Amino acid sequence: MPTISREVHLVNRPQGTPTPQDFTIVENELPDPGPGEVLVRNIAMSVDPYMRGRMNDVESYSPPWQLNQVMEGSVVGEVVASGTAQVPVGTLVSHQQSWREFALLPERQARRIEPLGHGLPLSVYLGALGGPGLTAWVGLLEVAKFQPGETVFVSGAAGAVGSLVGQFAQLKGAGRVIGSAGSADKVTWLTEIGFDAAFNYHDGPVSEQLPKAAPDGIDVYFDNVGGEHLEASLTALNPFGRVALCGGISTYNFTEPAPGPNNLGQAIGKQLTLQGFIVSSYGHLWKQMIPEVRGWLESGEVQARETVVEGLDQATGALLGLFSGANTGKMVVRLAPDPE
Amino acid sequence: MPTISREVHLVNRPQGTPTPQDFTIVENELPDPGPGEVLVRNIAMSVDPYMRGRMNDVESYSPPWQLNQVMEGSVVGEVVASGTAQVPVGTLVSHQQSWREFALLPERQARRIEPLGHGLPLSVYLGALGGPGLTAWVGLLEVAKFQPGETVFVSGAAGAVGSLVGQFAQLKGAGRVIGSAGSADKVTWLTEIGFDAAFNYHDGPVSEQLPKAAPDGIDVYFDNVGGEHLEASLTALNPFGRVALCGGISTYNFTEPAPGPNNLGQAIGKQLTLQGFIVSSYGHLWKQMIPEVRGWLESGEVQARETVVEGLDQATGALLGLFSGANTGKMVVRLAPDPE
C-alpha cells in the first residue's frame, strides 16, 4: 500500500540570504519497500548551517542539493515497513534522507540506534551524539589539540556545536572557557552550563570584549563565525595558539568575497596554527566520542539543549532561522513523536 | 691598544619604508678584551627581511633595536685578540654583534665555525648553513610536513630562504616545484637551479600565473610574501594542503593593517593548515640540517648564490634593497676578506 509523504524541494538557488520562496513542499507517493529496503517514518530532522553551502551549485565537501528535488540531511526515525529480516519493523535508525516525512531507503543506508533513556529524546542523535557532537570533539581535541589548563574561546557558543565545545573543554580540564553569542539570554545560558565568561557580540566590538573576558589571552579558538571574531582572536591568541576553523556563519550569505583578517601576520610572530576541518574526515573517532559523551549526557554533566520546531512546514523556517540566531543549542524539526 | 671600529646606529624609527636617513655610522673605540672576552674582526654580515620588525618599538620575537645604539644581527669573523685560551687568535666564529667592523664579546657568545673548502666562503654560514638554511629546512619539512611526490610553491623564491626551499624540496623528491620572483633574470635563475616552473609576479596577477604553473594544484605553499600570493595559494591548494607562514615582505613597510586573504574560508572545505613559525624555536634541528645541507653544498647539488655588497657604508643600502628585490640569493655585506 503506497505511503503519502510530503517533502521539501529546493526550487531556486538563492543569491545572498535565502527566503522561503526558494523552497516548496511537494507530496510524493512511496511504494512498499522492496527486498533489502526499509520504509522509515522520520521522527526528527536536523537543520545545520553547513546546509547553506548545499544551496549553491558548487562542488564542495557536501554535494549541492539538486533543484526541484527533495533535499537531504541527517534524520532519525522508526522502520514502519521492511523488506529485510535484518531490520524489522520498529527498529530505530538514523540516516540521511531528511526533509521528508517518510523515507524509502536501502537497509545499508540506515544506521541502527538505541533509545537513550534518562529522558533524552532520539534527536540527541542529531546533536550531541551526532555530527555536531563529533564536530565539537574533533575540533577541540584533534584539530586544536586542546590541553588541560588552557583557555578556550568559542564563537557561536550557544549553537549546537559551540555549546558542546565549551562543555567538553570544561570536562577535559580547561583553565578558562569563554563564549560569544548573539543575545543576552544566550549569554546567561552559557554561564549556566559552565562557561567562565560569555559576551553578546552585539554589545560592542569583539576586539574589545574578548580581551576583557580573557585578560591572559587565549590558547585555543574554535571558530564557527569567521569575520571580526577571527580577527580579534588572532590578536588574543597566546604564542603557539591554535585555531580550529570549523565554520564562518557570518559570511555564508555574502555575495562577494569578504576581506580576511587584517592581522594574519600575527600567526608568524606568535607561531599560531590555523587548521580547517570537515567532520566527515574523522569518522574513526565516533567510537571514542560516543561512550564518553553519552556518559556525560546521562549524568547531566553535558546539557544538550534543543530549539524544536514542529512539522515539516516549519523546516525551511528553522533552517533560515539559524542565520538570524533563532536557535539556542541544537535546532531540531520534529516530524513525529518519539516512540513510547 | 684600543681598536677603532665603525658601527651603524638606528637614529629614527621609520614609518613605512625606511630611508638612509634613519641610520648613521658612528666611530667607536674598543678596549682590549678582558678575561673571557674576545675581539673579533667581522668578515661578513647578514641583512635579512625580519630586521624591518626590529626597527619598530614593538616587542616581538626579536627585540627592537634601540635608538642611537649599534644594531645587531648575524655575522662571521675572526678572533684578532683574546682574553681566553679557549678561543685563541685566528679562531673563526659566528655571533650576533654585526653592524660593526669589530666586536668585543664574551667568549660564550661566539660560536666556533670551520672553513668550508670547496670554494665556499665563510658567508655561507649566514645563508645556507645559517638562519636562512634552517628556516627553509624547518618550514618545508617540519611545519609544512612536505612529503615526497608533492607539489611545492614558494614565493620570494629567488631570496635567501626561498631559493633553498625549492632546492631542498627537489632533493627530497618533490613532484613539482614552483617559484615566484620579481624579475625575469630571477625567474631564469630559478629554472637553472632546478625549479620546474617559475614566474615573475610583475607579469600578471598571481591568481592567474600560479594555476598555469600548477595545473594540478599545490600541496605545500611556503609563504615569504603574504598578500596576493597567499590569497592565490589558498585557491590553488589541494585538499589537506599546508601553508608554512614564514614572512610577509609585501606588507612589512605598510603603515596600516592590510586586509587578509578574502578566501580563507577555503581552509575549511579543503581542510588546510596554515602555520606560522620562527626559526629560533627549532634550534634542535641544526644538527639534522647542517650535515645534509653541507653535503649538498660540497657536491654542488645546492647553489648558495649571494648578492654581495662591500663595506659597512653599504650595509644600510643592502638592507633597504631587500624590500625592492635588489638581491638574488642571500644578501651579504662583506667587511673584510676571508682569511687565506
| pLDDT at res. B118 | 93
CATH (residue range B3-127+305-334): 3.90.180.10
How far is A3 from A27, CA to CA, in rounded Å?
A: 10
A267, B281: Cβ pair inside 8 Å? no
> Taking CB atoms and an 8 Å cutoff, what residues of chain A touch B261?
260, 264
Contact assessment for residue B62 and residue B71, using Cβ atoms and an 8 Å cutoff: no
Q: From 3.30.1370.140, 3.80.10.10, 3.40.50.720, 3.20.20.70, which CATH number describes the B131-281 domain?
A: 3.40.50.720
- The residue among B308, B339, B288, B305 whose CA lies nearest residue B115 is B339
How far is A22 from B122, CA to CA, in rounded Å?
A: 70
Where in chain A are all domains bearing CATH 3.90.180.10?
3-127+304-334
Q: Identify any residues that bridge with B179 across adjacent strands, giving them in sequence order.
A: B154, B198
**Scanning every residue of chain B, which has its alpha carbon at the shortest distance from the alpha carbon of A264?**
B260
Burial level of A4, CB count in 10 A (0-12/13-18/19+)? Answer: exposed
Domain A3-127+304-334 top-level CATH class: alpha beta
Please tell me the distance in Å from B168's CA to the nearest CA on chain A.
Answer: 22
Low-confidence ranges of chain A (pLDDT < 70): none
| pLDDT at res. A249 | 81
Q: Kindly give, in sequence order, each residue whose CB lies less than 8 Å from that of residue B137, ignoring residues fewer than 6 positions away.
A: B164, B168, B285, B288, B289, B293
Contact assessment for residue B100 and residue B40, using Cβ atoms and an 8 Å cutoff: no
> Taking CB atoms and an 8 Å cutoff, what residues of chain A touch B275?
267, 271-274
Please tell me the distance in Å from A167's CA to the nearest CA on chain B.
Answer: 23
Contact assessment for residue A178 and residue A142, using Cβ atoms and an 8 Å cutoff: no
| pLDDT at res. A256 | 85
| pLDDT at res. B318 | 96
How far is A202 from A183, CA to CA, in rounded Å?
A: 7
Where in chain B are all domains bearing CATH 3.90.180.10?
3-127+305-334
Regarding the domain with residue range A133-281, which homologous superfamily does it belong to in the CATH classification? NAD(P)-binding Rossmann-like Domain (3.40.50.720)
**What is the dihedral angle through the alpha carbons of B111, B112, B116, B117, rounded to the nearest 10 degrees?**
150
Task: Provide the 3-class DSSP secondary structure of residue B196.
Answer: coil
Residue with grid cell 550531541, as numbered in its chain: A128
| pLDDT at res. B215 | 98
| pLDDT at res. A261 | 96
| pLDDT at res. A340 | 83
Q: Identify any residues that bridge with B278 across adjacent strands, giving them in sequence order.
A: none
| pLDDT at res. A251 | 82
Residues in chain A: 340
B103 Rama class: left (phi>0) / alpha (psi -120 to 50) / beta: beta
- What backbone torsions phi and psi does residue B54 show, to the nearest 5 degrees? -75, -10
Which of B247, B271, B274 minimises the CB distance to A281? B271
**Scanning every residue of chain B, which has its alpha carbon at the shortest distance from the alpha carbon of A224?**
B268
- Grid coordinates of B130: 645559517
Q: CA dist B129 to B111, B114, B292, B297, Å?
A: 13, 12, 10, 9
How far is B68 from B24, CA to CA, in rounded Å?
A: 9
Give the rounded distance of the alpha carbon of B2 from its chain centre: 34
Give the rounded distance of the alpha carbon of A224 from its chain centre: 10
| pLDDT at res. A62 | 83
Residues in chain B: 340
Low-confidence ranges of chain B (pLDDT < 70): none
A271, B267: Cβ pair inside 8 Å? no
| pLDDT at res. A303 | 96
Give the model confidence (pLDDT) of B247-281 as tens digits.
Answer: 888 888 788 888 899 999 999 999 999 999 999 99
| pLDDT at res. A255 | 82
How far is A135 from A277, CA to CA, in rounded Å?
A: 9
Which of B261, B268, B276 minimises the CB distance to A268? B276
> Taking CB atoms and an 8 Å cutoff, what residues of chain A touch B224?
none
Where in chain B are all domains bearing CATH 3.40.50.720?
131-281
Q: CA dist B246 to A127, A258, A272, B151, B234, Å?
A: 39, 24, 11, 18, 15
Please tell me the distance in Å from A233's CA to the nearest CA on chain B.
Answer: 14
How far is B152 from B268, CA to CA, in rounded Å?
A: 20
* Alpha helices per DSSP H over chain B: 51-54, 131-137, 160-171, 184-192, 206-213, 227-236, 266-269, 286-299, 315-321
Q: Kindly give, in sequence order, each residue whose CB lies less than 8 Å from that of residue B75, ignoring residues fewer than 6 positions away.
A: B42, B43, B44, B45, B46, B94, B95, B96, B97, B98, B103, B126, B335
Please tell me the distance in Å from B270's CA to the nearest CA on chain A.
Answer: 7
How far is A306 from B192, CA to CA, in rounded Å?
A: 62
- The residue among A283, A339, A235, A320 whose CA lies nearest residue A51 is A320
Q: Identify any residues that bridge with A37 across adjacent strands, giving them in sequence order.
A: A106
Q: Which residues of A102-120 are buried (b: 16+ CB within 10 A; e: fewer)?
A: bbbbebeebeebeebeeeb
Residue with grid cell 519497500, as numbered in its chain: A33
Contact assessment for residue B70 and residue B98, using Cβ atoms and an 8 Å cutoff: no
What is the CB neighbour count within 10 angstroms for residue B88? 10
Residue with grid cell 594574519, as numbered in its chain: A264
Please tell me the distance in Å from B291's CA to the nearest CA on chain A.
Answer: 27
- Identify the contact set of chain A against chain B, taking CB-CB distances under 8 A: 53, 60-61, 226, 230-231, 245-248, 251, 257-278, 281
Q: Kindly give, in sequence order, each residue whose CB lies less than 8 Å from that of residue A181, ignoring residues fewer than 6 positions away.
A: A156, A157, A158, A162, A187, A190, A198, A199, A200, A201, A325
Ranges of beta strands (E only) in B52-205 are 75-82, 92-95, 102-106, 111-112, 151-154, 176-181, 197-200
Q: Is the interface score ipTM higher than 0.90? A: yes
> Taking CB atoms and an 8 Å cutoff, what residues of chain B touch A275?
267, 271-274
How far is B224 from A71, CA to CA, in rounded Å?
A: 44
> Taking CB atoms and an 8 Å cutoff, what residues of chain A touch B272?
275-276
- Grid coordinates of B309: 655588497
Q: What is the DSSP pairing of strand B75-82 with strand B102-106?
A: unpaired
**What is the dihedral angle through the alpha carbons of B82, B84, B86, B91, rounded to the nearest 10 degrees?**
-10
Where in chain A are all domains bearing CATH 3.40.50.720?
133-281
